Structure 1
Amino acid sequence: MRTKVWMALSVLLALTLVLAACQPTAPTPQVIVETVVVEGTPKVVVATPQVTQPAEQRKVLRLAWGPGDIPTIDTALAVDVISIQLIDEMTVGLTRQNEQTAELELAMATDVKTSDDGRTYTFTIKEGVPWVRYNGKEVEQVLDCEGNPRYVTAYDFEYGILRTLNPATASDYAYVLYGIEGAAAYNQGETEDPSTVGVKALDAKTLQITFVEPAVYNLNIAGLWVAHAQPKWIIDGDDCTEGRGERWTETGFYQGYGPFTLKEWVHDSEIAIVKNPFWPGDAVVPSPKIDEVRWKLVDTSGALAEFETGNLDVSGIPSGDLDRILNDPKYADMLRNTYTLGTEFYAFNTTKAPTDDVRVRLALALAVDREALVKNVTKTGEPARWFTHPGVAGAPKPEKFPNLGLTYDPQRAKALLDEYLKEKGLTADQLDITLMFNTSESHKRKAEAVQAMWKETLGINVKLTNQEWKVYLKQRKAGNENIYRGSWVQDYPDANNFLREVFTDNNGTPGAYQDVVNWPVAENAEGMIVYTPGSNPLYDKFVELVKAAARETDPEKRMQLYADAENILVNEAAVVLPLYWYADKVLVSPRVVDTPSITGYDRYEKWDIKS
């Protein structure tokens, strides 16, 4: 029988503060005393004192994201930047990447010990961090069936990792946890026993994770959002809580424990997170100075208009407005350079003609003048000759590999295409090629510029099509077009995250963009991804290189292995066309005190708004 918990009494006790006569009056702290009845027994719960601020004193940071809805804030299901950004503000991992240095820091883990063989990590979990929810008026602690606050424990982390890996969850990012022992077999349904996965809560404050092999990035993986603690009771239900299933992320249901928690999510319009007064701030993840962060879901041009009228605090700059903004002295102190460890690229569908032929893919890649694209269209970023951002560990550095990767070579591009057309008995204008991108004015301008380059150099009339982000992800996965716009921002700052986890077959599951590239794999009758070694020698060599690089401890040798892998990716197999490495300019209101980030994710708990 489900236990029913009824609130019998809620009493507010005002605490009078005695202040010096010359001091301004401070807001009055409030202690919330609640009496709950559990199976007939009254129990008194006293919440942590909170300060209620007048509405006019609240600090609200006003931001914008692109058009269309946020795909998800489900910890196990997120795959894109805005979803991960929100999750990282509302929950905290065992480890956390510093946004300014990209260095790894302990977060929900206060200590970690590594076994002699380098495979097993034992984490001590921070105690006294409660789960919270926004009840429509304020943030409150979540109570268990006995009326006590639910605190984050090692069991919540164990549940979170296992839920992400559970095949029924259908997490597209589960593969990133395949470095954990037994994770791949469990996620792929080879076993239904979760105890075979190398994650175990030894007690409420001790979590043990065992990896398949020692690697420098294992601690990064342990801190990723898909490995954060998740609230089992609100997802699956328990004796006193109705399980909400996939609806647990909706307004009023969502429960988190980070520096912020969900306030409201108006789908396709806006989303807001509110300060969590119960988060015990520390040097790594401090208590927020800002009371609320609110995103409007509008395009960059709309965001800039809102910024210029004083309705937004931060805005990107559409390429068409960049010169105006840069030349207007009133914006001089508002401009920020943002350097993100990420890459803008186009991915080729190798299963659809004519991009199923490497000569066509390479011709298209060589016909793009990336220097001109950055100079005349994006006006930000650095032309990319290969995929991995040079700022991450292990990545080839331009000064050490001046001849690596793609260069603009229209003559060679024309020769390759002519060879293909002669063999097929076709002319360039007969080729049917479509480039799809997610709806955005900037993506449209880039696509139109590249479309013009292909027309001028190769005589190909490439069609353009677009979809809003959430729909685009589904369309991309369906693989009905030839070329897809792509963006990769590091999950952790290592080349392994760019190459092995994006483009290789990970124990039977494709990498993040392998659903597009699909260069070596196929689906069998049961829908499982299969690959027979030897059926694609280039892919075999690529996998061999990135796996060797993961184990290599000598930095120079490791960099060479990744350089060799990049050459296969962009030249020999030509499955990816890198466009530029990210570096953008944004506008930040003078009232905002921000901490710039190089990781692609901001830490709003460190921001402030001037009074």
Structure 2
Amino acid sequence: MVKSKGLVVLLIVFITASLVLSGCGQDKETNSSNEITSDKLAKEQVLRIDWGDEPPSLDPQLTGDLVSGAILIETLEGMIRLDEYGKVKEGSGMAKSWDVTENGTKYTFHLRDAKWSDGKEVTAQDFEYSWKRAIDPETASSYAFLAYDIKNAEKFNKGEIKDADKLGIKALDKKTLEVKLERPNPAFLSKLQTFTFLPSRKDLVEKWGDKYGSEVEYLVSCGPFKVTKWVHEAELILEKNEDYWDKENVKLQKVEGTMIKNSNTAINMYETGALDFTNISAEYLEKYEDVMKKAPVAATYYHAFNTENEFFKNKSIRKAFVLSIDRKRILDLRTNGMYPAAYGFVPPGMPGPGKKTFRQANGDLFYDLGKGDEVKKEAKDLLDKGLKELGKSKEDIDGEIKLLCTEGDSTLALAQIWQQAWKEVLGIDVGIEQATFKIRLDRQDKGDFDLSYTNWWGDYNDPMTFMDMWIKDGSQNMTNWSNPQYDKLIKKAQTTTGDERMEAMLEAEKILMEELPIAPHDFGVKVYIEKPYVKGVVRLPLQILQGLKHAYVLEH
């Protein structure tokens, strides 16, 4: 999900600070001075983490980024939570159980007794209001599309129908929510883990208006933790929510979260005990190779071209930029090959037809400078061809393109490598614009960029979470690119099942990688270091995080 879902290295930082994939990391032995022999809980159950950046909003229906999502998943309780293996677990969230009709088009959720942090009862009406609010075009939620499985949701969101009562969402009583779908979708329950489906409070949204979710005093919690301090651009503190329905299973009393944009600062804080875990940027891989942990994630990091830009509206010019980078060489040099180069958009691990994964079925769909020196000439020829088609010269484009990326030293170092490659291969200067996470997201939403470095984390375990974002007028389609055949294939995949559905998405990805409105760079991997006394954090490959509820700290 993540609308620009993301930030590059900084998002990995915050993800690392919010989830863990139990049993999936390739752990190495720590040295003896760091070994923990006690299995007793520390007297102070305080975890010190790095959120990575300032959350733009803690309104669940308005947020569209991983930083905000990481916090919301800890402070609000959705209908479900995933277990440590990423599976939907009945009774794990606000729904103690649910019923599904044989044809899979109607779900009836039965809510448990639970309270908000201000003492009010959590009701089915809260969920009805929140889900309808997410779909309401007046809300302008960038993730409304996640609810399109629900009957009439897409039509309502696009203004084709005006009556919200026609939506397939209805609270039958305080503890029962009925949801009707347009068609069966096995991924529907998995989608309910996302922050779009978290509850908000109608009375408080109406009372506080735009302030809802913007400060501590305009927040209310029904999850394991609540926000007790928020110093913007500096720190955000969570404390255990004593009104939480499952508080007996929450051991942490406090989560001290800072917002660190500099990887050197984060490492120094880890070494001095001010952080209990942090991600590792490229320059520290060798230093921590004996203690670092890693795990795959369902994420793709990529360049997005604004196809309304006077140069990037031309496919030949886009392809020239794509070919000029040797992805594998860059990743080998900076990460010792730890991050796999991406030559398709859907990451490894996503299911495909039959027994194959999606990536296995489609393979590599483009190449780059790593293929050989002959690609340099091809890239130059493509640039010349595109400029000629536009009636432009190299002098016209030289110095006119700017790469937008998030603040951070590691991100800047990577951007400078690409900058040098475009200069050496294409003979043009590309500028670099760094912005805060929030400003970058806002500029992408407004189309105020030439070329942007961003990423996308899967919301649920299906290729569609990576594919439907590129349809015409898609809320996540920052590129403004569209292709009728692509849209037709996505619509087919949304209305069919089995291998027929998968084949439609495979063909759609081929079109995407032929047209190149985006240029995948690498597939995500979590690489982090963690104090040996930290236990029970859960890292999941998908974007939405379920990380700290069962975390605890041992004596040390």
TM over 0.5: yes
- Matched residue SS, 1:123: strand
Change in Cα spacing, 1:361 to 1:280, as seen in structure 2 (3 Å) is same
The residue correspondences of 1:81-160 to structure 2 (distance < 5 A) are: 81-98=66-83, 100-106=84-90, 107-125=93-111, 127-132=112-117, 142-143=118-119, 150-160=120-130
1:325 to 288, 297, 308: 288
Change in Cα spacing, 1:91 to 1:558, as seen in structure 2 (3 Å) is same
Aligned to 1:459: 427
Aligned to 1:480: 448
Question: 2: distance between equivalents of 1:219 and 1:405?
Answer: 34
Aligned to 2:550: 606
Q: Deviations over 1:372-418 (max 9, x none)?
A: 12111345421111111122233854444444344444343233222
1:388 to 342, 346, 351: 346
Question: 2: distance between equivalents of 1:399 and 1:204?
Answer: 47
Question: 2: distance between equivalents of 1:402 and 1:386?
Answer: 7
Question: 2: distance between equivalents of 1:337 and 1:248?
Answer: 37
Q: Deviations over 1:25-77 (max 9, x none)?
A: xxxxxxxxxxxxxxxxxxxxxxxxxxxxxxx933111111334x211111111
Conserved? CA contact 2:99–2:109, under 8 Å: yes
1:61 to 47, 52, 59: 47
Does residue 290 in structure 1 map to residue 268 in structure 2? Answer: no
Conserved? CA contact 2:447–2:479, under 8 Å: no
Question: 1: distance between equivalents of 2:161 and 2:368?
Answer: 47
2:211 to 234, 237, 247: 247
- Matched residue SS, 2:258: strand
Conserved? CA contact 2:347–2:523, under 8 Å: yes
Aligned to 1:404: 365
Aligned to 1:595: 538
Aligned to 2:190: 220
Conserved? CA contact 2:114–2:245, under 8 Å: yes
Change in Cα spacing, 1:467 to 1:387, as seen in structure 2 (3 Å) is same
Q: Which amino acid aligns with 2:282?
A: S
The residue correspondences of 1:447-596 to structure 2 (distance < 5 A) are: 447-500=415-468, 502-505=469-472, 509-512=473-476, 514=477, 516-520=478-482, 539-555=483-499, 557-571=500-514, 573-593=515-535, 594-596=537-539
Q: Which amino acid aligns with 1:421?
A: L
- Matched residue SS, 2:237: strand
Q: Which amino acid aligns with 1:298?
A: I
Q: Which amino acid aligns with 1:404?
A: L
Q: CA deviation at 1:295?
A: 1.3
Instruction: State which structure, 1 or 2, has the greater radius of gyration over its C-alpha atoms.
Output: 1
Conserved? CA contact 1:259–1:287, under 8 Å: no
Conserved? CA contact 2:320–2:379, under 8 Å: yes
Aligned to 1:415: 381
Q: Deviations over 1:410-459 (max 9, x none)?
A: 34323322222344565435412211111122221221111112122221
Identity fraction in percent: 27
Aligned to 1:161: 131
Unaligned segments of structure 2, at least 5 residues = 1-41, 370-374
Q: Deviations over 1:267-315 (max 9, x none)?
A: 1111011112332339xxx822111112111122211111111111111
The residue correspondences of 1:301-316 to structure 2 (distance < 5 A) are: 301-316=264-279
Change in Cα spacing, 1:350 to 1:210, as seen in structure 2 (3 Å) is same
Conserved? CA contact 1:260–1:275, under 8 Å: yes
Does residue 445 in structure 1 map to residue 413 in structure 2? Answer: yes
Conserved? CA contact 1:378–1:446, under 8 Å: no
Question: 2: distance between equivalents of 1:588 and 1:436?
Answer: 31
Q: CA deviation at 1:116?
A: 3.9
Aligned to 1:39: none
- Matched residue SS, 1:457: helix
What is the root-mean-square deviation of aligned Cα atoms in Å? 2.2
Q: CA deviation at 1:460?
A: 2.1
Q: Which amino acid aligns with 1:102?
A: G
Aligned to 1:265: 230
Aligned to 1:25: none
Does residue 177 in structure 1 map to residue 147 in structure 2? Answer: yes
Unaligned segments of structure 1, at least 5 residues = 1-55, 133-141, 144-149, 237-242, 327-331, 521-538
Q: Deviations over 1:456-499 (max 9, x none)?
A: 22212111111101111112222232211111111112111111
- Matched residue SS, 1:158: helix
Aligned to 2:326: 369
Change in Cα spacing, 1:425 to 1:163, as seen in structure 2 (3 Å) is closer
Question: 1: distance between equivalents of 2:133 and 2:539?
Answer: 33
Q: Which amino acid aligns with 1:295?
A: G
Aligned to 2:17: none
Change in Cα spacing, 1:399 to 1:606, as seen in structure 2 (3 Å) is same
| Structure that is richer in strand per residue | 1
Aligned to 2:394: 428
- Matched residue SS, 1:208: strand
How many residue pairs get aligned? The number is 497
Q: CA deviation at 1:591?
A: 2.0
Q: Which amino acid aligns with 1:608?
A: Y
Q: Which amino acid aligns with 2:382?
A: L
Aligned to 2:202: 232
